[in-house]
């Protein structure tokens, strides 16, 4: 009874604020299209603390231990002029030949992930341009550049003065390029963050002008009373002048496209309006976390792909994204239910939610989990946790758990390409006995509709589970620090059982 009473109260609250909700939706969008004259907006702080007096302390780089040889190898002084033993030096020379020193620079540091060096996301020709663009975005949005290794890159003349810019996003009369528009937009939004996710060269590298396609994620906190968070994903096709010196290319034109912007990729209202309306469960659990940054779900890009007329599953695409991927062996099976909570080795920081050092953080959802079999017959659990743009943009090298992991444990960042999936709603957990029957039902339906399941490495269809009632919470400078699991009644079927399909 308490649940239904609370539900009625929240529905009443929603209806009373419907007019205000739609006003908050339409007015800013109208303002975006008309364009206004902005004063110079105050840039955002990168501090994760709610009170600005607490400064952000950048992550200190790991100091590698120095390898020593010669007299110092035997405990002597490094300065040979002071302490020199010819016999010991000769012996040390023989030892160094028998056991050559390892090249410390070539040793892989497993505690960090350099996203710009990931060849799946960035090719060699566009990597530097993407780093310059991310640095320029950070300078446009924030008071400082955080802990970026690319702050020395030349970004002052990144865009040409005669830039041709076509975009469905807001564009004021005073903004000459996207960087100036980002700075001006801070005046309106409660928070604005932007991260470059990938970049690929589309034309030949020997041309004086080349085409580059970059993918970006923009996260905004809307200025309404429930502070809705909207995730805007899309791409920009750049025409780049490469006639200058290396690392000083200029962008001549830019054409933006939204993932959820319809066939033409220009419908900004379709992209934003579903995300800034009040969500029932956000209101029901008000005060638990800030508004969630929800995963983008796109219509299939191939118009020939569709679900059957009487099919009960949802068919959609997940855009390319950067995720955190912890994994572990499922030793306890259904009895231990390890798949229903994130493992400890996935977390890289802690979050203070109360007191004078209360921190600001970004929740993302849903958390994806899958269970598969290895060649040895072991059961492995792996998660895909979406990363917020604020965290991605803060570091070039994203931190990982530094502690010692068990042999069966792993945690890494990964760039995922576009995925086509079909899902059925479900009200239980990932390791319920009923999941097997629902998987079978889903598989039979997609086969009947002529869709082809994508096979995993073991040759089986790749099934997964989406926890829409779970939130992964990130701080900008620390990474994953908390997971929040909401209570939702089973009859609402908040979660999803899915299968990945061939595109």
Residue whose C-alpha is closest to residue 189's, from 29, 395, 21, 332: 29
Structure tokens that stand for 443 in this block? 């598989």
CB 340, CB 428: distance < 8 Å: no
What does each C-alpha distance from 73 to 3, 95, 160, 311 come to in angstroms?
71, 10, 56, 72
E strands, 9-109, are none
Rounded to whole angstroms, what are the CA distances from 502 to 104, 302, 308, 454, 497? Answer: 42, 11, 17, 5, 17
| CATH number for the domain whose boundaries are 118-272 | 3.10.450.50
Phi, psi values for residue 450, rounded to 5°: 85, 15
DSSP summary character for residue 293? E
pLDDT of residue 92: 65
231: which strand partners? 219
Question: Against a cut of 0.85, is the pTM above it?
Answer: no
Domain layout of the chain by residue ranges: 118-272, 314-501
* Contact criterion met (CB below 8 Å) for 156 and 165: no
- CA-to-CA distance for 294 and 323, rounded, in angstroms? 13
Query: Is residue 218 within 8 Å of 168, Cβ to Cβ?
Result: no
CA distance linking residue 353 with residue 217, whole number of Å: 26
Residue 235's pLDDT is 97
pLDDT at 60: 53
CB within 8 Å of 335: residues ≥ 6 apart: none
470-475 and 362-365 beta bridge pairing = antiparallel
Structural tokens at position 414: 């990964």
Return d(Cα 263, Cα 467) in angstroms, integer: 29
Tokens linked to 243: 């006639």
pLDDT at 333: 83
Q: Which residue's entry shows tokens 């530097």?
A: 128
Question: What is the pLDDT at residue 400?
Answer: 87
Q: How many CB atoms lie within 10 A of CB 323?
A: 17
pLDDT of the residue at 453: 96
Please identify, in words, the CATH class of the domain defined by 314-501: alpha beta
Could you give the 3-state DSSP secondary structure of residue 330? coil
The answer to whether 22 touches 30, Cβ cutoff 8 Å, is: no
pLDDT at 80: 47
Measured CA to CA, the distance from residue 503 to residue 416 in angstroms comes to 14
- For residue 368, which of 332, 416, 334, 330 has the smallest C-alpha distance? 416
pLDDT of residue 214: 98
pLDDT tens digit sequence for 115-161: 999 999 999 999 999 999 999 999 999 987 555 555 556 667 899 99
* Burial of 310 per CB tally in 10 Å (0-12, 13-18, 19+): exposed
Q: Name the 3-class secondary structure at 357.
A: coil
Q: How does pLDDT run along the chain (503 residues), one tens digit per residue? A: 444 344 433 334 444 444 444 344 434 443 443 333 344 567 888 878 876 555 545 555 555 555 544 444 445 455 445 555 666 666 666 556 555 555 544 455 667 899 999 999 999 999 999 999 999 999 999 987 555 555 556 667 899 999 999 999 888 888 889 999 999 999 999 999 999 999 999 987 677 899 999 999 999 999 988 889 999 999 999 999 988 777 788 999 999 999 999 888 899 999 999 898 888 887 777 778 899 999 999 999 888 888 877 789 999 999 999 999 999 998 888 888 899 999 999 999 999 998 888 899 999 999 999 998 887 778 999 999 999 999 999 988 998 876 778 878 999 999 999 999 999 999 999 999 999 999 999 999 999 999 999 998 878 999 999 999 999 999 999 999 999 999 999 999 999 999 999 98
């Amino acid at each position: 009874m308490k649940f239904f009473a609370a539900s009625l109260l929240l529905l009443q609250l929603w209806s009373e604020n419907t007019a205000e909700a739609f006003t908050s939706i339409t007015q800013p969008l109208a303002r975006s299209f008309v364009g206004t004259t902005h004063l110079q907006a105050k840039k955002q702080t990168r501090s994760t603390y709610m009170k600005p007096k607490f400064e952000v302390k950048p992550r200190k780089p790991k100091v590698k231990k120095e390898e020593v040889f010669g007299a110092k190898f035997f405990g002597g002084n490094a300065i040979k002029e002071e302490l020199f033993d010819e016999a010991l030096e000769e012996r040390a020379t023989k030892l160094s030949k028998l056991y050559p020193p390892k090249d410390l620079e070539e040793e892989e540091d497993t505690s960090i992930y350099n996203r710009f060096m990931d060849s799946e996301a960035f090719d060699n020709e566009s990597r530097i341009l993407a780093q310059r663009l991310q640095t320029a975005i950070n300078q446009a949005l924030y008071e400082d550049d955080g802990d970026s290794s690319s702050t020395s890159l030349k970004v002052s003349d990144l865009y040409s003065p005669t830039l041709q810019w076509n975009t469905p996003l807001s564009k004021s009369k005073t903004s000459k390029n996207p960087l100036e528009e980002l700075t001006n937009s801070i005046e309106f939004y409660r928070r604005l963050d932007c991260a470059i996710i990938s970049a690929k060269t589309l034309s030949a590298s020997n041309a004086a002008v080349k085409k580059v396609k970059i993918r970006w994620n923009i996260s905004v906190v809307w200025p309404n009373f429930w502070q809705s968070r909207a995730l805007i994903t899309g791409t920009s096709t750049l025409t780049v002048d490469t006639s200058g010196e290396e690392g000083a290319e200029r962008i001549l034109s830019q054409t933006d496209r939204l993932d959820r912007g319809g066939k033409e990729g220009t419908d900004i209202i379709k992209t934003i309006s579903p995300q800034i309306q009040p969500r029932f469960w956000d209101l029901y659990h008000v005060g638990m976390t800030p508004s969630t940054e929800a995963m983008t779900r796109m219509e299939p890009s191939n118009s020939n792909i569709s679900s059957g007329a009487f099919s009960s599953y949802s068919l959609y695409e997940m855009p390319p994204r950067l995720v955190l991927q912890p994994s572990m062996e499922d030793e306890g099976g259904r009895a231990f239910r390890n798949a229903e909570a994130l493992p400890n080795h996935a977390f890289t920081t802690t979050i203070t939610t109360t007191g004078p050092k209360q921190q600001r953080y970004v929740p993302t959802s849903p958390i994806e989990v899958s269970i598969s079999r290895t060649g040895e017959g072991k059961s492995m659990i792996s998660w895909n946790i979406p990363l917020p743009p604020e965290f991605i943009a803060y570091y070039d090298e994203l931190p990982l758990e530094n502690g010692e992991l068990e042999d069966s444990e792993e945690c890494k960042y990964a760039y995922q390409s576009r995925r086509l999936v079909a899902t059925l709603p479900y009200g239980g957990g990932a390791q319920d006995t009923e999941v097997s029957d629902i998987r079978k039902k889903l598989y039979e339906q997609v086969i009947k509709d002529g869709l082809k399941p994508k096979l995993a490495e073991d040759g089986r269809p790749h099934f997964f589970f989406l926890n829409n009632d779970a939130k992964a919470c990130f701080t900008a400078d620390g990474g994953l620090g908390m997971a929040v699991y909401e209570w939702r009644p089973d009859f609402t079927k908040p979660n999803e059982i899915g299968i990945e399909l061939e595109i």
